[in-house]
Chain A
């Protein structure tokens, strides 16, 4: 969702009043919470197995999602991307895109992994299309300290 923060919060139905038909305070806070976390994103031109990027958690946080996009899926095998915390996969095998899926495919994986301050979060390619035939990988991890219900 996206939301609109009105200058006149009363006009916006600042509390939980939906009778105005405008975004209320919960809507705005929800949009902020969902869109305001830390982001780790990286691209790889030719897809090969490697650790691509990492960040160190600044505060206690929560790993919220992994998203990937592969521009050219290759001619054999699969692209697999996992999220590691302190060197261990916490994404249950991560996301995979097979060589015969459509070029430009995006996939998303919801995560709910608690992080401590100073934990190391990394994006790793654990499998790559054969003969270096895959290209244009984008992988994005989001940290969200707020659980939205």
Chain B
């Protein structure tokens, strides 16, 4: 979703009043919560097994998603990308060599992380002649219901 934050909150129907037809406070907070977390994103030109990005957690947080995109899926084997916390995989995505070039995949996660935890993106399997990997991990301290 996208939402509009009005300068005059009253004008926006700040609480739960939807009678104005405008975004209310919940709508705005929801958009903020869904779009405002920390992002670790990295690209790898020629896909190869490696740790390709990392961050140290600064506040109690939650690992919420892993997304990957593979530009050219290769001619054999698969691309597998894992989200690690302190060296342990908390989820992975795989794109096979025979899937469409330009495939995106998403994995929802709900992994609590603590201050000082090391979050990393790891390519654990690589195809032959695969290129153009983008991998993104998102951390979000707010659960939206």
Contacts and interface: CB of A to CB of B under 8 A. Distances in A.
Nearest to B140: A35
A2 B118 contact: no
Contacts of A37: 38
A41 B16 contact: no
Contacts of A7: 26, 145
Given A3-B143, A14-B15, A32 B54 contact: no
- Give the secondary structure class of B's interface: mixed
B141 A138 contact: no
A37 B141 CA distance: 12
Contacts of B140: 35
A5 B29 contact: yes
Q: Considering residues A4, A35, A138, A139, which has the most beta carbons from chain B within 10 angstroms of its beta carbon? A: A35
Given A5-B145, A67-B116, A106-B117, A35 B38 contact: yes
Given A32-B141, A43-B53, A2 B36 contact: no
B62 interface: yes
A6 B145 contact: yes
A4 B38 contact: no
Interface of A: 1-10, 14, 28-29, 31-32, 34-37, 39, 41, 43, 64-65, 67-69, 104, 106-108, 138-140, 142
Interface of B: 15-16, 25-26, 29-30, 32-33, 36-40, 51, 53-62, 86-87, 112, 115-118, 120, 139-145
